[in-house]
Amino acid sequence: MSTSPADEVPDDPVEYFLEDLTYQGKTERTREAYGRVLRRFEAFLADPEHNATGEPLTPGEASHRDCMAWVHGLRDQVGDSTVASYAAYLHRFYAYMTQVGVFEANPMTLVVEEMDETIDKDPSRREISIGEMRRFVSGIAHPLDRALIVTLLKTGIRVGECCNLDLRDIALDDAEVEAARPTSPRPQVDGRPDSIYVDSDPARGEMHNGEERDASNKRKRDTVIPVDRELKAELKRWLAIRPDSQSPAEPLFVYTAGDWGQRLTPRAVRNVVTDHARAAGWYESGGSAADNVTPHYFRHFFTTHLRDRTGDRGVVKYLRGDVADDIIDTYTHNWGGQVRATYEDNIYSIL
């Protein structure tokens, strides 16, 4: 990660940020998307006829009111989901530049908390009921495939985050599992039995827990997600046959054929989901995201159903890893009383 003292502001903060995205292993497509949005915001600030102050500004001089004015102006130009996406890009830009010391504060923090942060990236997604999803899962026989799909459905984590899980990230209140595990749970799940820790740190191409990773975790903050009895049963079933791994990280999900015992890659997980979805009539080659069921669909399914059941957007945002520091700290400090209780009372049954 690049660092820069606060008194060494780069001539082009946007280019500085985009360059660091390259170092972080972000794809060219991702960098281009950030670049388009950030240059659009930069042009807005530089135009005194359109920004809130009537004076040309740089991103480092912008206040929350300047950011709010830009977001408001977008509403007449693009759809609501695009407005939310652009705001998220700008928020991440400022959060990163603040973290590395280029900017002193993130003016987007207040803005995103005043607007609806839920980004509906799939407004026309296939609608699948819980009953249909239950029948889908019942047709999956292989312990690895079932554990993968139930994990995605019950936690809402991204495919890369699923692949990056290590045995130390899982805490199951089960004597047989604990006696057989080669590594102890990490401290973050100590005292939180039946939980999964999703770390925000793993990045593609970087070493994490003694192993170079093939995927990046994209959540804003570390998150502890409860494990209900159904997911617990599937994980225990998988762990009973899980091949030994040569990796010092002891990945949770590993190949049972081919690259025996090596960590599963996102492509492998997508293939597992695609094969089962195709068999269910939920996937066609060349089909659109609105029609095809992919690992990301399970995150959409989790968000939609849990939000509708709980009515608590904050807990759902916490579980997704989407919330700001001050909100996530509230749930972290009262994890059992708010997060686990809300989750266990409302998580759907799919077995």
- pLDDT single digits (tens) 59-87: 999 998 889 889 888 877 776 667 877 88
The answer to whether 230 and 130 have CB atoms below 8 angstroms apart is: no
Q: 112 Cβ partners below 8 Å, 6+ apart? A: 87, 88, 91, 324
The answer to whether 183 and 167 have CB atoms below 8 angstroms apart is: yes
Hey, what amino acid is at 10?
Answer: P
Mean residue pLDDT across the chain: 86
pLDDT at position 46 is: 92
The answer to whether 242 and 142 have CB atoms below 8 angstroms apart is: no
Q: What is the residue whose two structure tokens read 């102050």?
A: 53
Taking the alpha carbons at both ends of the chain, their separation in whole angstroms is 43
The DSSP H or E segment spanning 224 is strand 223-226
pLDDT at residue 229 greater than cutoff 90: yes
**pTM for the full model?**
0.66
Q: Where in the chain is the domain with CATH 1.10.443.10?
A: 130-346
The answer to whether 298 and 153 have CB atoms below 8 angstroms apart is: yes
pLDDT band at 125 (very low <50, low <70, confident <90, very high): confident
The 170-171 sheet, strands edge to edge: 170-171, 195-198, 223-226
CA gap 151, 316 in Å, rounded: 16
CA gap 156, 151 in Å, rounded: 8
Over residues 307-332, the pLDDT tens digits come to 888 776 778 888 888 765 555 565 55
- Strand duo 195-198 + 170-171: pairing: antiparallel
Q: Where in the chain is the domain with CATH 1.10.150.130?
A: 13-114
- Two tokens, residue 323: 């919330």
- The architecture of the domain spanning 13-114 is Orthogonal Bundle (1.10)
Helices (DSSP H) in the chain: which residue ranges? 13-23, 28-46, 64-74, 80-99, 108-114, 130-138, 143-155, 159-163, 175-180, 229-241, 266-279, 295-310, 313-320, 325-333, 341-346
- Two tokens, residue 11: 């001539």
74: left (phi over 0), alpha (psi -120 to 50) or beta: alpha
- Two tokens, residue 209: 């827990």
pLDDT at position 9 is: 66
**In terms of pLDDT, which residue wins out, 301 or 290?**
301
Query: Which fold is adopted by the domain 130-346?
Result: hpI Integrase; Chain A (1.10.443)
